[in-house]
Chains A and B, each alone.
Chain A
């Protein structure tokens, strides 16, 4: 993509050409030093600040992947909205999937402050040029998967996301604060659903266990490759884009989840899982990183289906976007007419 160092002004909080400096012209080194000082002081980097190209690129990639994950993440659970077993469960699931859409939009909004273009990001997603979380390439085979996704997948997401509320990039950190507040409902509704099922028949309990067996390992993979294979981690930590390593967060998730599994009455599918008194953490078995690599590079059970669904929604919605734009051109109020650069301006 055109990684612009000075993106076109498209938002008041997006980078714009700074006014002609009245003080001495800032040198690249001086700007870089100021950026480093901002990071070191735990202050936030804001959209119109100078930032190294690598930082901008990293942030756009991370935020876009995160946004895509939220949007694609609507599909596995959306699959069960029409078949949720009661009006109560349907309303909850609908609200949850709406939240995922909202989270995607908060994040696209944050990415745009860095000069990324929304339509361009969508295009990259539906042509497979940008990735999303590997977890959403697994199928939701039963209704209990909805509960397990809330408990484990959203639980893992919370583990990942809470530290991101302190990300050095201001708009991303603010979006994460909003998202984390809402994720708590997601996890609790999932766990409550599972508790209800576990009070049911032996068949219902078996359904829960089956879902846990299928989602446990993919949930652990959500934290990304082990630290030794994560070459970008060091730079991301230095920039305070990332606050903990993948392995630290994965361990935190395992430690939090084991007692929850006990309380629920399910077993986690790992014979090597046991408390290590010396470490003060749970030990767990080896993760199948070949599977992770296969799924992330397109070979998971649902990759093609997820992207195709997103593409068809986008294409089937084109007439709505065109009709709304045509309507706006006819009836628009003075301000939007003046937004030539960002669209909405009449061409005649």
Chain B
């Protein structure tokens, strides 16, 4: 009995809250196919007008980095303080900087 349910793949749901905003991950759900995933996403995650657009993505299609903050994956940006405006000292009397 339960095998039939597990045949429904897991999908990740992303919602655009309103025009002008990015889609944001809100959670996941099970569905047999993409259309059903969209319908379930609408019923589950937008019962109170939380969105104007929904993306559903098969969870297995997502490639993720390791989230560990010490991960060397993120090291390249760690030592480049000169990418930030606060790295540069400008006299305070110089206007509009």
Residues in chain A within 8 A of chain B (CB atoms): 9-14, 16, 18-19, 22-23, 34, 46, 48-50, 95, 98-99, 102, 105-106, 109-110, 112-113, 117-120, 122-123, 171, 174-175, 182, 314-315, 318, 321-322, 324-325, 327-328, 331-333, 335-336, 338-344
Contact = CB atoms under 8 A, between A and B. Distances in A.
A119 B2 contact: yes
B12 to A, nearest CB: 6
B64 A325 contact: no
A106 B45 CA distance: 9
A109 B29 CA distance: 7
Contacts of A175: 27
A95 B43 CA distance: 11
B42 to A, nearest CB: 12
Contacts of A340: 60
Given A12-B64, A324-B32, A336-B58, A318 B72 contact: no
B47 to A, nearest CB: 6
Contact of A338 (B61, B67, B68): B61
Interface string B28-57: 111011101000000110011000000000
A335 B66 contact: no
Nearest to B47: A102
A105 B44 contact: yes
A322 B4 contact: yes
A141 B36 CA distance: 37
Among B27, B29, B34, B63, chain A packs the most CB atoms within 10 A around the CB of B27
Among B3, B5, B61, B66, find the residue whose CB has the most chain A CB atoms closer than 10 A.
B5
